[in-house]
Structure 1
Amino acid sequence: MPNLTVAKFGGSSVADYAAMSRCADIVLSQPDIRVIVVSASSGVTNLLVDITQVSSVETRLLALQGIEDITFAVLDKLQHKEAVMPSIQALLQRLTTLVKQDNYKFSPAEKDEILSFGERLSSVLFSQVLLERNIAAYCFDVRQVMRTDSHFGKAEPDIKQIKTLCLEKLVPLLNHSVVVTQGFVGGNELLQTTTLGRGGSDYSAALLAEALTADVVQIWTDVVGIFTTDPRLTEQARCINELSFDEAAEMATFGARVIHPATLLPAIRQNIAVFVGSSREPNLGGTWIAKDVENRPAYRAIALRKSQTLITLKSPEMLHAAGFLTRVFDILSRHDISVDLVTTSEISVALTLDQGGMTTAFNCDIDLALSELEQFCDVSVERGLSLIAVIGNHLHSNEGVSGELFNTLERINMRLICHGASKHNLCFLVQDSEAVAVVKQLHNSLFAA
């Protein structure tokens, strides 16, 4: 379809009736927005997670009450709440049935169904907000088209199936309606509810845009675009007008919280422009992400990711020997452990792992992997580190890596540095306690006006 925009509104953008009304203003001002993907209202997903993690029915019911309070606060502001009351009541009744089960633990499939209710509720409410603004809106169940595998909690989408189903079930609706649907949620071939994991709502919007060959994906959130670094770290951070796909991917990978790396994959495959802006202040502009940009400065941004683990493996067997790294990465792969940075010397290799958000099970996998590694090499583990990435262009060449960067780095106590693997980033590790000060120092040196 020509001039098609898919807009995603995050949790803060649909937090309450006033926030939804601001999003309705954006939709009214942009006729090209034909598909809208919504997150759960702020706070709802956390309550749903609480429900899945506790065994006490009484505690679950308290969380359910919080979800109902957020839902009915919006419902009560609608002019015609009776139009959506049956749908809301049906969703809450099903959720109540799940909550009241006297289970010690929910199955993975039940957890995903429970976690889906936030988006399912907000999509019904936002559709009615649009209808009351004279926008022909239709609430569409994304599980009809967002086909995934059965890896509950982090389901993988079936790209071909999604496209086929979108052409069959979604495209016919776009001629006469603005479609409102759910992010984060999918369905397997058995029509069981699945979820796409962290960043799932943004990813959903990009997948739908790819299937519909849209021109633009808009990500509306609570910040005015993507900044040169996290504005919470320094007042000197400023919004970036444009980013290339390569730059944005590096920023997302190394800690920029505004956009998730998976979101960019469909956009890159289909060459769809991505816009990131604030639904609270849409007039302030935002950040455009595209394949081609007008300017590619040496330094674009600084990303920070805390809670990193550094593992150093040392063995004389590495000297002039083949197969050592193959053996190491085979063990890590079998335990589903992903490595970020790697540096090597003649008899040692250093690896970094992202410890942030690790589950107890994941920590157990690391312990098992380390036990295997200790069978043939010395292993040391350091925690409490932060990964800082300088994002830019041609950082692998003398032209890009100018003296000001290395002059600044000389004054920083680094534990590890990784440079040359990518022309778009230079990464290093510092102590968590020093990370914010280092980011401020680097930002002042590289981005001072």
Structure 2
Amino acid sequence: MTALNVAKFGGTSVADATAMGLSADVVVANPDTRLVVLSASAGVTNLLVAIANGQLDDAALAEHLGKLHQIQHNILTALGNPAEVVAIINSQLDEVATLAAQARQHSDAELADRLIAYGEMMSSRLFTELLNQRGHRAVWADVRTLLRTDSRFGKANVDLDTTRAQCQREIGGLMNDAIVVTQGFIGADSEGRTTTLGRGGSDYSAALLGEALDVATIEIWTDVPGIYTMDPRLVSRAKPIPEITFAEAAEMATFGAKVLHPSTLQPAVRQNIPVFVGSSRDPAAGGTWIRAETSSSPLFRAVALRRNQVLLTLHSPNMVHAYGFLAEVFGILARHRISVDLITTSEVSVALTLDHTGSQTNGDSLLSEAVLAELGALCKVKVETGLSLVALIGNRMSEVNGVGGQVFAAIDSHNIRMICYGASTHNLCFLVNEAEAVNIVNCLHHGLIG
């Protein structure tokens, strides 16, 4: 078991029976793969999030429930409609309909998590059946008995020690003679209530479970053959990266690369577990290995883009030669669970960027009236939207002469709203107008990467 591998499959990799079949091929091709972590089938989580919001009228709700039913039953039909699994899936669909009715009366984060979790619960049941039909002993496991979190519904924090103990107890021995299939994205608090880790959290789940089980490798299977130097849908010259360091990959994930969830690499770094990213549709195409060290460390490795950013500018003459102002600002943001990405300061102003992406439900605005009121009592507040964050990822970027000249020469015809440079040797970040973002990432890629 020293070479134990955990394989995670994203929504497109379990979108339908054909995609599940290709993913099953990947699983059985590696005898070290003893734990499989699944996302919901493509499109299912979006349907469930809309239902959980409780704002659909009768016709729209019926349409959403109908689409959920169709996705699951198309796969069941391809599997020959096995009676036991059909009964389980139908029961889960009935439970979704019941919770949907409750959400229309009163929707909250706890109810939303219970609803949204059904996507992974259903896809994992179907995939377990597929493996068993192919003659492989597969066992379904409820990840809520494995992954312990706090009660922050929608974006729960994980209790690592309890998770390790529960994983070792529940499935540690089971993997000796079976492939264990479980769910990503989901956990449970100490009272057994369903929680979720935030959108894209299935990658993170796989890494957490891998850490808890002391695996040798983690595989993330998606619909693209590895990590690219930029999203090829936005930059036609983007190219795959054969290997990349943990530090570089973490910067890319944090600043917008869609292939990995930003938290995925934390468990892998803690235990120095190599992570592979590849395409379940074409595993022969290879992919990207993420490791502590790589054979090459280029100055400019990749470009990342994250849209829907908020710029918060706080102005106060009281900042001059004063102390404690930033502590008060961050205290307010911390009380409201708002995370800050970039920060720059002047003598009387501080500018902060906040990420507005990844929320589970519509809910309140990222900057609620209560937050703005508290900040407003401290200083003058300005909020700007319609912005994107562009990150240039590389190595030794704050140590090499001439980096600034190369970068600004590549984008000299564009306006930059904010710059953050020097906090890390692996990135240089810009805040730009949304309308210019795609042009800017193309200019950076063409001028610095090729």
TM-score interval for Structure 1 and Structure 2 normalised by the shorter chain: over 0.9
Residue pair 1:57, 1:101 contacting (<8 A) in 2 also: no
CA positional deviation for 1:36: 0.3
Residue pair 2:6, 2:217 contacting (<8 A) in 1 also: yes
CA distance in 2, matches of 1:32, 1:171: 14
Q: Write out aligned runs for 1:209-358 (5 A).
A: 209-356=210-357
In structure 2, do the counterparts of structure 1 residues 409 and 397 end up closer, same or farther at CA, with 3 Å as the change threshold? Answer: farther
CA distance in 2, matches of 1:160, 1:369: 34
Give the structure 2 partner of residue 191 of structure 1. Answer: 192
In structure 2, do the counterparts of structure 1 residues 58 and 379 end up closer, same or farther at CA, with 3 Å as the change threshold? Answer: closer
Residue pair 2:252, 2:393 contacting (<8 A) in 1 also: yes
CA distance in 2, matches of 1:423, 1:366: 34
Residue by residue, what CA displacement relative to the aligned partner does 1:188-239 show, whole Å, maximum 9, x if unpaired?
2222222222222111111110010001111111111111111111110011
Residue pair 1:57, 1:102 contacting (<8 A) in 2 also: no
CA positional deviation for 1:57: 5.6
Give the structure 2 partner of residue 404 of structure 1. Answer: 406
Worse-matched range after superposition: 55-64 or 146-155: 55-64
2:23 equivalent to 1:23: yes
CA distance in 1, matches of 2:135, 2:349: 66
SS at match of 1:280: coil
CA positional deviation for 1:301: 0.6
Worse-matched range after superposition: 318-327 or 418-427: 318-327
Q: Write out aligned runs for 1:3-82 (5 A).
A: 3-54=3-54, 56=57, 59-79=60-80, 81-82=82-83
CA RMSD of aligned residues (A): 2.0
In structure 2, do the counterparts of structure 1 residues 49 and 313 end up closer, same or farther at CA, with 3 Å as the change threshold? Answer: closer
CA distance in 1, matches of 2:35, 2:366: 42
Residue by residue, what CA displacement relative to the aligned partner does 1:130-188 show, whole Å, maximum 9, x if unpaired?
11222111111111111122222222221111111111110121111001111111122
Instruction: Report how many residues are paired.
Output: 448
Give the structure 1 partner of residue 373 of structure 2. Answer: 371
Worse-matched range after superposition: 361-370 or 177-186: 361-370
CA distance in 2, matches of 1:34, 1:102: 37
In structure 1, the gaps of 5 or more residues are none
Give the structure 2 partner of residue 441 of structure 1. Answer: 443
Q: Which amino acid aligns with 2:433?
A: Q
CA distance in 2, matches of 1:95, 1:363: 27
Residue pair 2:4, 2:32 contacting (<8 A) in 1 also: yes
CA positional deviation for 1:101: 4.5
SS at match of 2:314: strand
CA positional deviation for 1:314: 2.5
In structure 2, do the counterparts of structure 1 residues 81 and 349 end up closer, same or farther at CA, with 3 Å as the change threshold? Answer: same
TM-score, normalization by structure 2: 0.94
Residue by residue, what CA displacement relative to the aligned partner does 1:270-294 show, whole Å, maximum 9, x if unpaired?
1111111111111111111111111
Residue by residue, what CA displacement relative to the aligned partner does 1:86-117 show, whole Å, maximum 9, x if unpaired?
32233233334334558512443332221111
Aligned mate of 1:431, from 416, 430, 433:
433
Aligned mate of 2:420, from 418, 421, 427:
418
CA distance in 2, matches of 1:356, 1:140: 31
TM-score, normalization by structure 1: 0.94
CA positional deviation for 1:398: 2.4
CA distance in 1, matches of 2:13, 2:144: 22
Aligned mate of 1:393, from 379, 389, 395:
395
CA distance in 2, matches of 1:261, 1:12: 19
Residue pair 1:79, 1:132 contacting (<8 A) in 2 also: no
CA positional deviation for 1:332: 2.2
SS at match of 1:95: helix
CA distance in 2, matches of 1:105, 1:337: 25
Q: Which amino acid aligns with 2:240?
A: C
SS at match of 2:420: strand
CA distance in 1, matches of 2:364, 2:73: 38
CA distance in 2, matches of 1:360, 1:76: 34
Worse-matched range after superposition: 72-81 or 404-413: 404-413
Give the structure 2 partner of residue 201 of structure 1. Answer: 202
Q: Which amino acid aligns with 1:192?
A: R
CA distance in 1, matches of 2:68, 2:140: 20
Residue by residue, what CA displacement relative to the aligned partner does 1:24-79 show, whole Å, maximum 9, x if unpaired?
11112111110001111112112212221235566434322211111110111114
In structure 2, the gaps of 5 or more residues are none
